[in-house]
């Protein structure tokens, strides 16, 4: 009887571990599709030597419309992912920049990219990007149980050759090469903000990653532009150390904070407090292109 109970217990524990891992494989493939990163990875295979490679958070893939750049004679690709911190920006560039070979890299930056813990972005990458040593190391270094589970799921997914989930959505529209457009363009955000109520808690890992990106682009003779995409003025003004953040980025190369250049934008130009709608994207992208040409940053 004791032997039977022991075998039953062992089988129960094995089944629990197996179902946890199998369930996490399903969860990680379905649960992290909101940024369309799997779609973007598929499109990446068709891109070679673009004029611009965009990298950054959701403000990147919702702020730089590749169609607007194409109309201005600029071929571009958007490698943004949800909640991407500078650590994940470095991982993606280290993995793909030699393959894509862009003339210019536009890195979307903000105070948030300096203080983000990278957990959400790591989960997104584990669900949608092929594993490599650096991504595995980053996941293990996170010391986060959810990330450990996601890493196990990603390993099982690759062993079983389970493809990432390609997303379709009634809320968002995916534009190839690779912009995400919100279907409902009206402002829908009830958040309230208090001016000068917060300071940026910079994570050393993100700052180190930023410096690695600067060095990586210099070694490859690729132009690096640091661009801050505008959010609603009320949200931007919550940071009491905005000038110090501007100085930090400015010391590392060409940098423009479009929160200052487009401070007149009202909520009519956003669909939430962090993201431009199509009307805002058009104003921002056209100003960015004209500014870069005026400054002689690129000649294409």
Torsion angle defined by CA atoms of residues 271, 277, 283 and 287, in that order, rounded to the nearest 10 degrees: 90
- Asked if residue 137 is part of any domain, the answer here is no
pLDDT at 178: 78
pLDDT at 15: 44
Cβ neighbours for 292, distance < 8 A, ≥ 6 positions apart: 225, 298
Tokens 């393959």 sit on residue: 99
- Asked if residue 162 is part of any domain, the answer here is no
Are 139 and 148 a contacting pair, CB within 8 Å? yes
Are 32 and 25 a contacting pair, CB within 8 Å? no
* Eight-class DSSP state of 230: P
Of residues 219, 199, 206, the one with CA closest to residue 249: 206
pLDDT at 165: 65
- Asked if residue 192 is part of any domain, the answer here is yes
More reliable by pLDDT, 7 or 287: 287
Element (H, E) at 14: helix 2-31
More reliable by pLDDT, 293 or 20: 293
Distance CA 81, CA 190 (A): 24
Domain total in the chain: 1
Q: Regarding beta strands 223-228 and 179-182, do their DSSP bridges make them parallel or antiparallel, or are they unpaired?
A: unpaired
Residue 77 corresponds to which tokens in the numbers above?
A: 């690709």
The residue segments making up the domain with residue 182 are 36-117+167-294
Are 175 and 278 a contacting pair, CB within 8 Å? no
Q: Is the pLDDT of residue 18 over 60?
A: no
- Asked if residue 12 is part of any domain, the answer here is no
- Asked if residue 27 is part of any domain, the answer here is no
Cβ neighbours for 85, distance < 8 A, ≥ 6 positions apart: 57, 113, 116, 117, 118, 121, 203, 206, 209
When pLDDT is cut at 50, 70 and 90, the band that residue 25 belongs to is very low
Average pLDDT over residues 214-233: 98
Q: Is the pLDDT of residue 250 over 50?
A: yes
Q: Taking the CB of residue 73, how many other CB atoms lie within 10 A of it?
A: 9
Q: Regarding beta strands 172-175 and 254-257, do their DSSP bridges make them parallel or antiparallel, or are they unpaired?
A: unpaired
More reliable by pLDDT, 190 or 57: 57
pTM: 0.88
The predicted-structure confidence for 98-112, as pLDDT tens digits, reads as follows 999 999 999 999 999
% of the chain with per-residue pLDDT over 90:
69
What's the mean per-residue pLDDT of the chain?
88
The predicted-structure confidence for 112-157, as pLDDT tens digits, reads as follows 999 999 999 999 999 899 999 999 999 999 999 989 988 988 898 8
For position 220, which CATH number holds? 3.40.50.1110
- Asked if residue 73 is part of any domain, the answer here is yes
Distance CA 264, CA 262 (A): 5
Are 114 and 87 a contacting pair, CB within 8 Å? no
More reliable by pLDDT, 37 or 288: 288
Average pLDDT over residues 278-282: 96
3-state secondary structure 106-170: EEECCHHHHHCCCHHHHHHHHHHCCCCHHHHHHHHHCCCHHHHHHHHHHHHHHHCCCCCCCCCCC
Average pLDDT over residues 168-172: 76
Give the CA distances from residue 268 to residues 70, 83, 204, 238, 273, in Å, rounded to whole numbers and listed in that order.
25, 24, 36, 20, 11
- Asked if residue 8 is part of any domain, the answer here is no
pLDDT at 29: 46
- Asked if residue 89 is part of any domain, the answer here is yes
């Amino acid at each position: 009887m004791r032997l039977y109970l022991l075998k039953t217990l062992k089988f129960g524990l094995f089944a629990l571990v197996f179902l946890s891992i199998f369930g996490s494989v399903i969860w990680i493939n379905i649960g992290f599709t909101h940024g369309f990163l799997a779609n973007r990875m598929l499109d990446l295979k068709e891109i070679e030597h673009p004029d611009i490679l965009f990298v950054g958070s959701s403000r990147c893939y919702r702020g730089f419309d590749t169609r607007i750049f194409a109309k201005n004679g600029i071929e571009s690709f958007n490698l943004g992912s949800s909640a991407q911190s500078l650590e994940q920006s470095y991982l993606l560039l280290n993995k793909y920049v030699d393959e894509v070979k862009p003339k210019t890299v536009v890195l979307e930056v903000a105070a948030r990219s300096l203080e983000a813990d990278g957990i959400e972005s790591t989960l997104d990458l584990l669900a949608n990007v092929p594993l490599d040593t650096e991504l595995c190391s980053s996941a293990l270094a996170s010391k986060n149980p959810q990330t450990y589970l996601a890493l196990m799921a990603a390993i099982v997914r690759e062993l079983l050759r389970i493809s990432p989930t390609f997303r379709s959505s009634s809320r968002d529209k995916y534009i190839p090469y690779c912009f995400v457009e919100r279907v409902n363009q009206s402002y829908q955000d009830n958040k309230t903000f208090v001016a000068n109520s917060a300071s940026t808690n910079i994570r050393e890992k993100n700052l180190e990653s930023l410096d690695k990106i600067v060095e990586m682009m210099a070694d490859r003779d690729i132009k690096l532009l640091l661009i801050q995409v505008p959010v609603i003025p009320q949200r931007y003004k919550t940071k009491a150390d905005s000038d110090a953040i501007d100085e930090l980025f400015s010391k590392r190369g060409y940098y423009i904070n479009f929160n200052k250049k487009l401070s007149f934008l009202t909520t009519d130009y956003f669909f939430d407090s962090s993201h431009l709608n199509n009307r805002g994207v058009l104003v921002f992208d056209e100003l960015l292109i004209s500014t870069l040409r005026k400054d002689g940053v690129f000649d294409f």
